[in-house]
Amino acid sequence: MESGEVDYKKEVDNKYTWVIKNFSSLQYDKMYSEPFVIDGCKWHLLAYPKGNKFNNSLSLYLVVDDSRALPSGWKRYAQFSLTIVNQLAENLSQRGEKQHWFNQRNLGSGFTSMIPLPNLHAKHGGFLVNGEVKIVVEIDVLEVIGKLDVSEESDQEANPPLKRIKLDDDNDDLLNETSLTKESIDVNGFQVLPSQVESVKCIFERHPDFASRFRPKNRHLKSTYMTVLLGLIKTLCQLPDELSDDDMDEASVAVSYVEKGGFKLDWLEKKLAEVKAKKKKVETSKARLKQTEEELHRLNQRCLDLKAVLEKENADVSKANVPLSFDDIV
């Protein structure tokens, strides 16, 4: 329950950095970052330095802070990433991305196995340097039902938001015009990161008219919709067995969200239905597989029992099937 010896550093672009000092000597099982504000919402990070649910990996979660102060029925939909920074080679950093509806029953979301503890503690691994572990969270709040934790004005002074989106409003002025500090490249009118260029080009090549009805003109809003779409596609590229029911529900919400902006995604809806069907088939097959394995175990045990009976009967036969000698008879 400790917060630990840490440094906190707010950054632009909806990022927050949590530096945990003396990581190797931590004695407690879980620890919290200080609360921070992104997009008018209060959050904190929760880490299990020794692993959660008895695994051998660092567990890391993003959690809504001070939820009791929020009104009844509050919800917030966010896309976020958690990164364990490799301080020697940034390209080796461990990063996980998710989309999640946060509410009173689901205050947090994250990753049970963020990075194996042996990798984290490796002497020259780059994740633990001078006793410090650096964690970066990046959050895009896409919808808020209920009030914000911090007013738009006060939040903008402390940590200018990059985006503010409401699903039931198409007004392009919903976004605050802040300059993008990351390098971006224009692809068919959408400003995307260099790492996203090939994926976005591929979407336009295979579905040339998918954005023909897209309404928003604000470049930040357009980038947000495209980022959500790419995140959705990335989710569907996972093994069906790795996708939870919550992942599927959130994927359906994400499809509705980007379609509301004007994207034509009939092709993606088909793939979503296909993934759902595959997931159901995998679950059904795994259930049958478990039943078959249990039946096989019972049959193997039955075979062992029969083998023991057979050996005993053979021993009895061998013992009884001995001829009498002359001396035995006379």
Tens of pLDDT, residues 109-128: 999 889 989 899 888 889 99
Q: Average pLDDT for residues 253-274, to the nearest whole number?
A: 88
- Give domain limits for the chain: 1-149+157-161, 167-286
Which one-letter DSSP state was computed for residue 2? B
Structure tokens at 139: 């959050």
The beta strand positions in 133-249, using DSSP E, are 133-145, 185-187, 190-192
Least confident of 44-48, 94-98, 172-176, 235-239: 172-176
Residue 108 CA from chain centroid, whole number: 11
Output the average pLDDT for the chain.
81
Q: 78: closest CA among 61, 53, 59, 95? A: 61
Q: Average pLDDT for residues 86-114, to the nearest whole number?
A: 90
Q: Quick one: pLDDT at residue 180?
A: 38
State the architecture of 1-149+157-161 in CATH terms.
Answer: Sandwich (2.60)
In three-state secondary structure terms, 148 is coil
Residue 4's pLDDT band, with cuts at 50, 70 and 90, is very low
pLDDT above 60 for 76: yes
Instruction: Measure the CA–CA gap between 2 and 10, rounded to whole angstroms.
Output: 21
Which residues fall within 8 angstroms of residue 234, CB to CB, at 6 or more apart? 97
Concatenating the DSSP letter of every residue in 81-108 gives: EEEE--SS-GGG-EEEEEEEEEETTB-E
More confident position, 163 or 309: 309
More confident position, 250 or 183: 250
- Residue 225: what are its φ and ψ, rounded to 5°? -60, -45
Q: Quick one: pLDDT at residue 327?
A: 83
The predicted-structure confidence for 10-36, as pLDDT tens digits, reads as follows 445 689 999 999 888 888 788 899 999
Which residues fall within 8 angstroms of residue 316, CB to CB, at 6 or more apart? none
In three-state secondary structure terms, 7 is strand
**β-pair type (108-116, 15-20):** unpaired
Sheet holding 15-20, edge to edge: 6-10, 15-20, 133-145, 75-84, 94-103
Structure tokens at 224: 């947000």
Sign of the dihedral through C-alpha 71, 75, 79, 80: positive
pLDDT above 50 for 194: yes
The predicted-structure confidence for 123-179, as pLDDT tens digits, reads as follows 888 999 999 999 999 999 888 887 776 654 444 444 433 333 333 333 333 233 333
Structure tokens at 300: 């193997």
Q: Quick one: pLDDT at residue 174?
A: 27
First and final C-alpha spacing in the chain: 90
Q: Quick one: pLDDT at residue 12?
A: 52
